Chain A
C-alpha cells in the first residue's frame, strides 16, 4: 500500500505519469531560494542552459556568475563567495563538479565548512547518449566520505526543488545530485521534504524485504514493490534522498520488520548509498543485503531506459534481487 504520509502523486502508477528532469527542480528551486534570500547566488561553468542555471540568471542577472569552463576555479570561487557572506550554488555536470574539482571541494569547502552548495548535474547512466565520460557514477561516494558534507539525491523534480530550498536555508556545505533525463514526478507539492529525513513510500501488511532507495530510482523501487506484492512478497519502500547524514532511525524502523534488504541507486554499487546502508546495518542490525547499482563498470551511450535495464537498475532487477534474498 502506498504510504499516506508521503502524499504521492495521484498518477503514481499511471502510464501517463508526468515526467520532468530533476535539473528543472534545480532551476525552479534556485529562483525561489533567490527570492527568499538575496545572499543566494548561482555560479555556472559554461553549462547554464543544460544545468537550468539560466532560469536563475533570467530572474537575477546580477547574482548569476559565469565562470567559464573551469570547475576547479568555480569551487574556489564558491568558497570565497561564502566567506564574503554569499550563499553560492556552484553548478556543472557531476563528472566535473565534484569529479574534476574534488580536492578543491575537500579543502576549500568541506574542511573550511564553507556555506557552498555543490550541484552535480547529469549524474548516472540515465544521461544517455553522451556516454561514459559524462555519466557520473562515483559522486555520492566521493561526497559522502567528506566530513561536514551533506549529500542529497532527490527522487524527482518536485523534491529537487524542495531540496534546493532546504539546502539554501541550511548553513554549511551540501552536495546535491541531479539527473538529465525526464523522470516520473511521483511526489507532489504536499509531499514532505526535510534534510536528513527519509520518506516511507510504500508498505505491505507483512514486509519481508525492505527496499531502500535514493535518487531517481526510488520510482523503480516503488514499481518493484507493486510487482512483488502481486507475487505475494510484501515489502517496505523507504526513499532516502539524504544519503548523508543517513536517517538511521527510519532505516532501522523499516529494516526491523524485514528479513532482507535491497538498496537501489544509480551509482556504483561500491561506495555509494548502498554501502552507507550496509555500513550502518552491519554494525547495528545485520541483514542479508543486495545492492542494486552499477557493478564496477563504466556506462555507455544509449537511451536512458535502455541503459537502466542494461545495468540492471530497473524495477525488474530490483524484483529479481528481492526474490533471490527472500528465497534464501
Chain B
C-alpha cells in the first residue's frame, strides 16, 4: 500500500525532527557518533511512525514487533525516534551519555524499556533477531523481527554465522536492514575491508535481498512491504544511505563517523537542517 503524499511529507518531517534532536543530543553529550544516526533518520522515522506495531506506553507489549539494533553506536537516532514517538520525554534526550542517564552511550536494555537488547560490540544483533524469529514461529505468533545493522559491521564473522543459520531456517518473519553508508571508522568500507558484492553474499546464504535508497521513505517502506510478502526466506534490505544526511558539509565524510558536533558546529548544522539546505531563508529557520 503506497503512501499518500501527505503521509510521506509527515514522515519526512518526522525524520527532520529526529535529525534535529540527534544533533542537539550529541552537542549536549560532547561525544558520540554523528554520521550514522543522521543517515538513518529516515529509516527510524519510517519504523517508529509507520512500520512497527508497537505501543510506546506499553513497551513490553508481547505482541509488538521487535526492532533489534545491532550497531549500537547509532543509538542516538533510536533514542530520538523513541522520544518523539512518546516512549519518554524529548527533553530526556539531552541526558545522552551522562552519568545516571537511561540513555547510555551504547544501548542497554535493562536501563530503558523498549530497547529490546544491549548492543555496541558489533555483529551480535542478527543472531538475537534470528532466534526471536524462530521462537515466535515455534509459538505460532505473528510478530515481525527487524534487525538494523551497519555495513562496516559485516566484517564480523558472527554476522555470517547468523546469516547462515537464518538462511537454513528459512525464517519468513525476519528482516535485516543493512545501513549501506560506505563508511566505517578507519575510512571507506571498500578500502578497509571490501564487502561487495554484498547482495550476492546474502543471496548465497539463502536470503532474499532488496536494494533500496534508505533516505527515500516511500521506497524504504515499499521494501519492507515486499519483505513481508517473501515467505520462504529471510530478507536483507540493503539500504543505501548518505552518512551525515541533511547536513551537506558533513555528508559522505567518514571523519564524522565517531565524533559529535561542537556547540558552534551544532548551531550551524541545525540551521542547515531547518533551512532545508538553504531553500528556506535563515531568518525563518
Check A76–B124 contact: CB distance below 8 A: yes
| Chain A residues within an 8 Å CB radius of B123 | 72
The range of chain A's interface size is 20 to 34
Does A111 count as interface, using CB distance less than 8 angstroms? Answer: yes
Which applies to chain B's interface (DSSP): helix, strand, loop or mixed?
A: helix
Binds B, one of A62-70, A178-186, A238-246, A295-303: A62-70
Report Cα–Cα, A108/B66, bound state, in Å.
16
If A80-B128, A80-B130, A83-B128 touch, whether A73 touches B165 (CB-CB below 8 Å) is yes
Does A113 count as interface, using CB distance less than 8 angstroms? Answer: yes
Which applies to chain A's interface (DSSP): helix, strand, loop or mixed?
A: helix
Does A112 count as interface, using CB distance less than 8 angstroms? Answer: yes
Report Cα–Cα, A73/B108, bound state, in Å.
20
Closest residue on chain B to residue A62 by CB atoms: B138
Per-position binary interface string of chain B over residues 95-121, scored 1 when its CB falls under 8 Å from any chain A CB and 0 otherwise = 000000000000011100000111111
If A70-B165, A104-B158 touch, whether A84 touches B132 (CB-CB below 8 Å) is yes
Report Cα–Cα, A81/B132, bound state, in Å.
5
Does B164 count as interface, using CB distance less than 8 angstroms? Answer: yes
Does A173 count as interface, using CB distance less than 8 angstroms? Answer: no
Does A204 count as interface, using CB distance less than 8 angstroms? Answer: no
Check B135–A112 contact: CB distance below 8 A: no
| Chain B residues within an 8 Å CB radius of A141 | none
Check B108–A84 contact: CB distance below 8 A: no
Output the least CB separation between B131 and chain A (Å).
3
| Chain B residues within an 8 Å CB radius of A112 | 109-110, 117-118
Output the least CB separation between A12 and chain B (Å).
43
| Chain A residues within an 8 Å CB radius of B68 | 80
Does A30 count as interface, using CB distance less than 8 angstroms? Answer: no
Check A79–B131 contact: CB distance below 8 A: yes
Closest residue on chain A to residue B110 by CB atoms: A113
Check A108–B117 contact: CB distance below 8 A: yes
Contact of B162 among A62, A76, A86, A113 (CB under 8 A): A76
Report Cα–Cα, A62/B168, bound state, in Å.
15
Output the least CB separation between B46 and chain A (Å).
23
Per-position binary interface string of chain B over residues 128-143, scored 1 when its CB falls under 8 Å from any chain A CB and 0 otherwise = 1111101110110000
Does A9 count as interface, using CB distance less than 8 angstroms? Answer: no
Report Cα–Cα, A103/B161, bound state, in Å.
15
Report Cα–Cα, A86/B127, bound state, in Å.
15
Q: In chain B, residues 58-94, which have Cβ atoms closer than 8 Å to a Cβ of chain A?
A: 66, 68
Output the least CB separation between B259 and chain A (Å).
24
Check A79–B128 contact: CB distance below 8 A: yes
Closest residue on chain B to residue A79 by CB atoms: B128
Does A107 count as interface, using CB distance less than 8 angstroms? Answer: yes
Report Cα–Cα, A103/B118, bound state, in Å.
13
Size of chain B's interface in residues, with CB distance under 8 A? 33
| Chain A residues within an 8 Å CB radius of B161 | 68, 70, 72-73
Does B157 count as interface, using CB distance less than 8 angstroms? Answer: yes
Does A78 count as interface, using CB distance less than 8 angstroms? Answer: yes
Output the least CB separation between A80 and chain B (Å).
3
Check A77–B118 contact: CB distance below 8 A: no
| Chain B residues within an 8 Å CB radius of A113 | 110
| Chain A residues within an 8 Å CB radius of B139 | 84-85
Closest residue on chain B to residue A80 by CB atoms: B131
| Chain B residues within an 8 Å CB radius of A72 | 123, 127, 157-158, 161
If A62-B138, A70-B165, A86-B135 touch, whether A77 touches B110 (CB-CB below 8 Å) is no
Report Cα–Cα, A110/B56, bound state, in Å.
26
| Chain B residues within an 8 Å CB radius of A78 | 131
Report Cα–Cα, A78/B119, bound state, in Å.
15
| Chain A residues within an 8 Å CB radius of B108 | 111
Check B124–A83 contact: CB distance below 8 A: no
Q: In chain B, residues 138-179, which have Cβ atoms closer than 8 Å to a Cβ of chain A?
A: 138-139, 157-158, 161-162, 164-165, 168
Q: Which of A76, A77, A104, A113 has the most CB of B within 10 A?
A: A76
Report Cα–Cα, A224/B108, bound state, in Å.
48
Check B158–A65 contact: CB distance below 8 A: no
Output the least CB separation between B218 and chain A (Å).
31
Contact of B124 among A65, A68, A107 (CB under 8 A): A107
Report Cα–Cα, A86/B126, bound state, in Å.
18
| Chain B residues within an 8 Å CB radius of A81 | 131-132, 134-135
| 14 A-B residue pairs with CB within 8 Å | A68-B164, A74-B127, A76-B124, A76-B158, A79-B127, A79-B131, A80-B127, A80-B129, A81-B132, A81-B135, A83-B131, A84-B131, A86-B135, A113-B110
Given contacts A85-B135, A86-B135, 19 further A-B contacts (CB under 8 A): A67-B165, A68-B164, A68-B168, A70-B161, A72-B127, A72-B157, A72-B161, A73-B127, A73-B162, A73-B165, A75-B127, A77-B165, A80-B68, A80-B135, A83-B117, A84-B136, A84-B139, A104-B124, A104-B127
Instruction: Name B residues whose Cβ lies closer than 8 Å to a Cβ of A.
Output: 66, 68, 108-110, 116-121, 123-132, 134-136, 138-139, 157-158, 161-162, 164-165, 168
